[in-house]
Every structure is written in C-alpha cells, then in structure tokens.
Copies of this chain bind each other. A is one copy, B any other.
C-alpha cells in the first residue's frame, strides 16, 4: 500500500464553491485534484494499492481509495465534483467515524494531525521536501505514507508536527516540483525499484 497525504491550506470546507473557478474561489482545489489523479491513475487502469488523503483547511479529510473508487476521471473538474459531493455530507462525518460519500470516497472530520495519527501505524511516514535526503540514497519503504503540501509551504506548526512523526525526509530530484508532479515521480521510483531490466 502506498499512501499520499496532501495538505490543502486554502481548500474549501463547505460545498459552496464553483467548479468553474477551482484555481481561484475554490482555494486551489485544482492542485489537490491533480494530486488525486497522479496518485491513482495508470494508463487505462487504476492503482488499486493506493490511497490519497486530501486535508481540507485542517478541518476535513477526503480519502480516495484506489481499490474501491468508482466514477473517478483524471480531469480536475470531475474530481472536484467528488470532493464537493463529500462536503455535501459533512454533517454525517461525526467524531472518528467517516462517511462514504461515493464509492471509494470517504470524508473524515479530521485535520492534518488527526489524519497522520490515524495513519502512522500503517507504514513509514515520508516527508517529501526539497531539503530532504536524495531518494536514490534511501532504501524503498514497503508501506510508504508520503506527506506533501499544496502550493503553500507547510505552516510552522505543521512542520514541527511532521518533524516528530516523519520517519524520513526525502527529496526526489534537484528541482522543486509541484505536489502532483512529486507524486508521479515517487510512484516511478517505487515502480522501477528492483527492476534492473523491466
């Protein structure tokens, strides 16, 4: 299982946003939607062994499960519609219980720390960061949980929390990438690991 946690700092927490303005009024939800696509799609296939967790303004987390998700398409708009549908049912997400708002899409009333606390036992928490160690020098974790930020830096408190819980801090190359591009590169490293000739 590979997991990706993406922190959306300006992301909506109610469904009152327009699908026509994802990069504006919807708080750069376009970034998070591209991350879902990068995490889950192969050519004509889905990565069933992947989950993506979108943290929305530290209040809700929407989880896409590659094993069970349906009605997912690679474009930003349709993914944003699934997020909006999840937020439509936000009153059903009570305490620690998520609500499945579409097949394979669940909403938790969890912010960043609660999401990482929930996941930390499930694998190796890897912060993708431009000051991290080069990924080529690292052994490949079997159950990685990659943590990324959207178009903004992690806040000071998020960074401090990550320093506590992250098992590794890794960079993927010499140039700083958008979060969705970093997910694609991380997948490629894992896909090709151990394949001398594939």
Contact = CB atoms under 8 A, between A and B. Distances in A.
A45 B181 CA distance: 13
Interface residues of A, number: 42
A197 B178 CA distance: 21
Copies in the complex: 2
The secondary-structure label for the interface of chain A is mixed
Contacts of A171: 198
17 contacts: A20-B20, A20-B77, A23-B78, A30-B74, A30-B77, A38-B184, A42-B175, A43-B178, A44-B176, A45-B176, A74-B178, A134-B198, A137-B197, A177-B184, A181-B184, A181-B187, A184-B185
Interface of A: 19-20, 22-23, 30-31, 34, 37-38, 41-45, 73-78, 130, 134, 136-137, 171-178, 181, 184-185, 187-188, 191-192, 195, 197-198
Given A31-B74, A134-B198, 20 more contacts: A20-B20, A22-B77, A34-B74, A38-B181, A41-B178, A41-B181, A42-B175, A42-B177, A43-B178, A45-B176, A74-B178, A134-B197, A136-B192, A172-B188, A173-B188, A173-B198, A174-B192, A175-B191, A177-B184, A181-B184
